[in-house]
Amino acid sequence: MTKYFGRAVAAAIVLLATAVVSDANAQSLQDIKSKGKLQVAMDTTYPPYASMGADMKPVGFEVELATSIAQGLGVELEIVPVTSTNRLPFLLTKKADLLLSTVTINPTRAAQVMFTNPYTNVGFDIIAEKTKSIKSSADLAGLKVGVIRGGAADPLLAAIAPKDATIVRLDDVSGCMQALIAGQVDAITEGSLLPAKLNASAKAEKYEKKFALAESHLGMAVRPGAFEFLHWLNTFLYVSKQNGQLAALHEKYMGYALPQLPTF
């Protein structure tokens, strides 16, 4: 009996310590309002989600979404530039209050951060020049295939790539595009919107989707324990969907209607 009681006490201490750590990392609405600004971690090299405009100011779907969130909180918006590899650490080390940066929702990341409900979907495809005959994963044999290092598509590609395919891991979407254009890779694994951007850059219908890998959903992320902030963000998304604001932003930047999104 004493042994089981001791185990129960030990378990309770671990749970209490975890709760204290989560509380220390939590982000409250009052914290943000007292600061007078909302710091949002965002990759500004990934149009149409976020990029630098001609005036060198951030523009895009996620930028305008973040602007609306800051306005709803009654504070200024500060965009904190990040990459796909450092975006979670920036949030977890309190360099940002919110992560809004094409982050796909998955269990691995959910062990580190808390996700909002999705605000859009994303399809991951194998993309290459139209002249290349690539119809399935078997056709990647002997080819160099680029992917963002540590991004959502990285494990998807690793799971289907033939043994003699070479996976070239790059820092961001711009790096993937440049590697494909320069012929440093034969194909890339990226979002379904990328062929249009590549063709616009080439000023020719040169690139296309070869086959689909998976569809995922993008969510905003907050630090563990920030339940009040998470609830506010999910309420904001609900209202934005109900009043048509999210659909209008989506159509404006993504070029297609807001899809039916799951909730959890």
Q: Please state, in angstroms and rounded to a whole number, the distance separating the CA atoms of residues 18 and 13.
A: 9
Return the higher-pLDDT residue of 20 and 174. Answer: 174
Q: What average pLDDT does this structure show over 69-97?
A: 96
Query: Contact at 8 Å (CB) between 105 and 214?
Result: no
- pLDDT in the model for residue 11: 43
Using the predicted structure, report yes or no on whether residue 21 has a pLDDT greater than 50. no
- What mean pLDDT is reported for the chain? 90
Tell me how far CA of residue 247 lies from CA of 112, 203, 228, 250, in angstroms.
29, 29, 25, 5
- pLDDT in the model for residue 5: 43
- pLDDT in the model for residue 25: 57
Q: Which residues contact 257 (CB under 8 A, 6 or more apart)?
A: 247, 250, 251
- pLDDT in the model for residue 26: 61
Q: Please state, in angstroms and rounded to a whole number, the distance separating the CA atoms of residues 249 and 239.
A: 14
pLDDT over 70 percentage in the chain: 90
Q: pLDDT, tens digit, for every residue of 117-174?
A: 999 999 999 999 999 999 999 999 999 999 999 888 999 999 999 999 999 999 888 8
Q: pLDDT, tens digit, for every residue of 37-58?
A: 999 999 998 889 999 999 999 9
